[in-house]
C-alpha cells in the first residue's frame, strides 16, 4: 500500500474530566489549564506546528464548548482545527475511531496532558523505515511498576505489554509515552461507537495478529500533569529548563515582567519568574523562582512566594508565605497565612462547572 508522505495530520486526545486534577479542573478541561499563562493545549499546537503539522483534530468529550470557544478554527494559532466531539467517553482508541472520517493517511496521536520534546520528524522516519502500522513512543522511568511497561526485541519490535509489573516481572523500564504514529487501516479493528483503548485493546491485538508494531525509544523531556503536584512541577520545570525557548520573552536574568505590572523598588524577584499584565508587587515582597503569576495578581507587602503558580486575579495578603502551591483564579490568601504544598481555589469554584479559559 502506498503511504502518503505529506501532509501529516494529528489527533490530540483532549480527555475527560481530569478527576485527579481536582479542584483545578472543576469547570475546565485538563488541556486548558494554564501553563506559563497559556492553555497547555496552546503549547501542544505550537509543538505540532514546529514539525509542520497544521491539520489537527481535537477529540473532545468533557466541556467541548470551552475549547471550541477559545481556539475556534485555529487560524489565530497558525493551524487548522477540526473537532470530533464524543456523545460519551469512548476511550483512547474509540476517540480516534470517532474521528476516522477526517483521516486520509498516516497520522499522529498525542495524549492531551503530556508535554514532550520528542522529535516527531525522527519518529516518523523510524516508522516509515520499519514499515510499521503502529509506532509507539517509549520513554524510560525509574519506577516502571507504576506504569504500563513495553518490551521490545533488538529490532525495537514490540513483543508484549505488561501493566504495572511486579518487581522481577520484567527487565524493561520503557513505558508508553502517549505519542503514536499510526496507519489508518489499524482503525478497522476498533469497534464503532464503543469504549475501546489503545493500550489494552488495539495494540495487543495488532501484536497478536503479527502486524508490525514498533517502539520508538527517546531520551528527551517527558512530563505529564496528571495531579496538581505534577501540574505545578510542569510549570516550574519548564521555567527552569528552557523558559526562554517556550515563553519567548524571558530576560537574561530569567524574568519576564509585563510593562504594566508595577513592582515596588524594595521587592525582590529571583528568577525564573513570569509576572503577567496588571500584577502588583508590594514593598519588601520576595518572589523566589520558579514562580508564575497570572494577570491581575496582587502580592502584599512582605509576602513571600516560592516555587508556586498563581492563576488570574489572586490576592496574597501582607506577610503571607506560599511554597510549592497552586492558587486558582480570584482566590484571596489572608495576611500572614502560611501555605506549603497546597492547591487552593475559591469555595464557589470547588464544585462548579463554569466554562472559562
Say if residues 151 and 163 touch (Cβ distance below 8 Å): no
Judged against a pLDDT cut of 50, whether residue 327 lies above it is answered with yes
Q: In the CATH scheme, what is the homologous superfamily, with its name and number, of domain 9-224?
A: Spore Coat Polysaccharide Biosynthesis Protein SpsA; Chain A (3.90.550.10)
Q: What is the pLDDT of residue 125?
A: 96
CB neighbour class for 105 (10 Å; exposed up to 12, middle 13-18, buried from 19)? middle
Judged against a pLDDT cut of 50, whether residue 160 lies above it is answered with yes
Half-sphere exposure of 202 (CA within 13 A, CB side): 29
Q: What is the pLDDT of residue 113?
A: 87
Q: What is the pLDDT of residue 220?
A: 85
Boundaries of CATH 3.90.550.10 in the chain? 9-224
For residues 311 and 33, give the distance between their C-alpha atoms in angstroms, rounded to a whole number: 10
* pTM for this entry: 0.88
Nearest CA among 91, 176, 93, 105 for reference residue 136: 176
Boundaries of CATH 2.160.10.10 in the chain? 250-349
Q: What is the pLDDT of residue 6?
A: 52
Q: What amino acid positions are annotated as catalytic residues? A: 164
The pair phi, psi for residue 343, each rounded to 5°, is -115, 120
319: left (phi over 0), alpha (psi -120 to 50) or beta: left
* Fold held by 250-349: UDP N-Acetylglucosamine Acyltransferase; domain 1 (2.160.10)
In tens, the pLDDT along 80-100 reads 999 999 988 899 999 999 999
Q: What is the pLDDT of residue 89?
A: 85
Judged against a pLDDT cut of 90, whether residue 61 lies above it is answered with no
Judged against a pLDDT cut of 50, whether residue 206 lies above it is answered with yes
Mean of pLDDT over the chain: 88
For residues 320 and 336, give the distance between their C-alpha atoms in angstroms, rounded to a whole number: 4
The verdict on whether omega for the bond into residue 23 sits within 30 degrees of 0, i.e. cis, is yes
Amino acid at each position: 500500500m502506498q503511504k502518503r508522505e505529506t501532509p501529516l495530520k494529528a489527533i490530540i486526545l483532549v480527555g475527560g474530566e481530569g478527576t485527579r486534577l481536582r479542584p483545578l479542573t472543576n469547570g475546565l478541561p485538563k488541556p486548558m489549564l494554564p501553563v506559563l499563562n497559556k492553555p497547555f493545549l496552546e503549547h501542544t499546537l505550537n509543538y505540532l506546528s514546529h514539525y509542520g503539522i497544521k491539520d489537527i483534530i481535537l477529540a473532545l468529550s468533557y466541556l467541548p464548548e470551552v475549547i471550541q470557544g477559545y481556539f475556534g478554527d485555529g487560524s489565530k494559532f497558525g493551524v487548522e482545527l477540526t473537532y470530533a466531539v464524543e456523545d460519551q467517553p469512548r476511550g483512547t482508541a474509540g476517540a480516534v475511531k470517532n474521528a476516522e472520517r477526517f483521516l486520509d493517511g498516516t497520522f499522529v496521536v498525542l495524549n492531551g496532558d503530556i508535554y514532550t520534546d520528542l522529535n516527531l520528524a525522527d519518529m516518523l522516519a523510524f516508522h516509515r523505515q520499519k514499515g510499521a502500522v503502529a509506532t509507539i513512543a517509549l520513554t524510560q522511568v525509574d519506577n516502571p511498576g507504576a506504569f504500563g511497561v513495553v518490551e521490545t526485541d533488538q529490532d525495537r519490535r514490540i513483543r508484549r505489554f505488561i501493566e504495572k509489573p511486579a518487581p522481577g516481572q520484567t527487565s524493561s523500564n520503557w513505558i508508553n509515552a502517549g505519542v503514536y504514529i499510526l496507519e489508518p487501516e489499524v482503525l478497522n479493528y476498533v469497534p464503532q461507537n464503543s469504549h475501546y483503548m489503545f493500550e489494552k485493546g488495539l495494540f495487543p491485538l495488532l501484536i497478536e495478529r503479527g502486524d508490525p508494531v514498533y517502539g520508538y525509544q527517546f531520551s528527551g523531556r517527558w512530563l505529564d500533569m496528571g495531579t496538581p503536584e505534577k501540574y505545578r512541577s510542569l510549570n516550574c520545570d519548564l521555567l527552569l529548563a528552557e523558559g526562554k525557548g517556550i515563553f519567548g520573552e524571558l530576560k537574561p536574568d530569567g524574568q519576564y515582567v509585563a510593562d504594566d505590572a508595577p513592582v515596588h523598588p524594595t521587592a525582590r524577584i529571583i528568577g525564573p519568574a513570569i509576572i503577567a499584565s496588571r500584577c502588583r508587587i508590594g514593598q519588601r515582597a520576595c518572589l523566589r523562582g520558579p514562580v508564575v503569576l497570572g494577570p491581575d495578581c496582587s502580592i502584599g507587602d512582605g509576602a513571600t512566594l516560592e516555587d508556586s503558580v498563581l492563576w488570574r486575579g489572586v490576592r496574597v495578603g501582607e506577610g503571607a508565605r506560599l511554597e510549592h502551591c497552586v492558587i486558582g483564579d480570584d482566590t484571596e490568601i489572608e495576611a500572614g497565612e502560611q501555605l506549603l504544598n497546597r492547591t487552593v481555589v475559591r469555595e464557589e469554584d470547588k464544585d462548579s462547572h463554569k466554562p472559562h479559559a
